[in-house]
Amino acid sequence: MQDVAICYRMSLGLQSYKRLCRSERVISQRSFSTRQKSAKMFKFVMILAVVGVATALAPVSRSEDAHADVVSRSDDVRADGFDTSLQTSNGIQQAASGDVHGNIHGNYGWISPEGEHVDIKYVADENGYQPSGSVIPTPPPIPEAIARALAWLESHPPAPENHH
């Protein structure tokens, strides 16, 4: 009889153990679900923060630029080329003319935030786009020693190598 009682207690212990495991599994699943929700909320908050920062840092247009009117506009397209020009009330202007070969000469300009009038002239032809103007950066002059070295290299080409 004593053996039956021990087996019965062990059986109850096994059932309790199974119930305990099931309840831990449920708790574990709940905490996993809570972690998933927390991760989703964190991602949502981070996306909102990035959008907020991007909105705050977005350039704000000057009011006169946003409400500029076209003062004059001219477009003349012909078989042998084109002429176009545009001028706005806030000081922006553009003019260009092109020929049948794809060569274009033109200029454009605006008033900088500092109040300076910026003017760019350009040529676009078989040699590419070539702008010029006071605001276009130019490379510094070649140092004298480098210029002499380049001249010497040009006047003394290397001897051709003889391969057997």
pLDDT in tens, 9-56: 455 555 655 665 565 555 555 555 666 777 777 777 778 778 877 777
Whether 161 is covered by a domain: the verdict is no
Q: Is 153 left (phi over 0), alpha (psi -120 to 50) or beta?
A: alpha
The span from the first CA to the last CA of the chain, in angstroms, equals: 108
Percent of the chain scored above 70 by pLDDT? 74
Strands (E), 39-116: 70-78, 81-88, 93-99, 104-111
Q: Does 75 share its domain with 116?
A: yes
Has residue 159 been placed in a domain? Answer: no
The answer to whether position 152 is within a domain reads no
One domain, residues 85 and 45: no
Residues 6+ apart with CB under 8 A from 76: 82, 83, 84
**Residue 3 carries which DSSP code?**
H
Say whether pLDDT at 153 is over 60. yes
When pLDDT is cut at 50, 70 and 90, the band that residue 83 belongs to is very high
Answer yes or no: is 137 within a domain. no
In terms of domains, do 24 and 53 share one?
yes
156 within domain boundaries: no
For range 96-122, the mean pLDDT: 92
pLDDT over 90 percentage in the chain? 40
Q: CA quadruple 14, 16, 18, 20: dihedral positive or negative? A: negative
| Residue of 104, 106, 94 lying closest to 70 (CA atoms) | 94
pLDDT at 4: 45
What mean pLDDT is reported for the chain? Answer: 79
Residue 85 lies in a domain: yes
> pLDDT tens digits, residue range 88-107?
998 899 999 999 998 999 99
Domain membership of residue 7 (yes or no) is yes
What is the span of the domain harbouring residue 2? 1-58
What pLDDT is stored for residue 7 in this prediction?
47
Select from 79, 83, 103 the least CA-distant residue to 95. Answer: 83
How many independent structural domains does the chain possess? 2
pLDDT at residue 16, rounded to an integer:
59
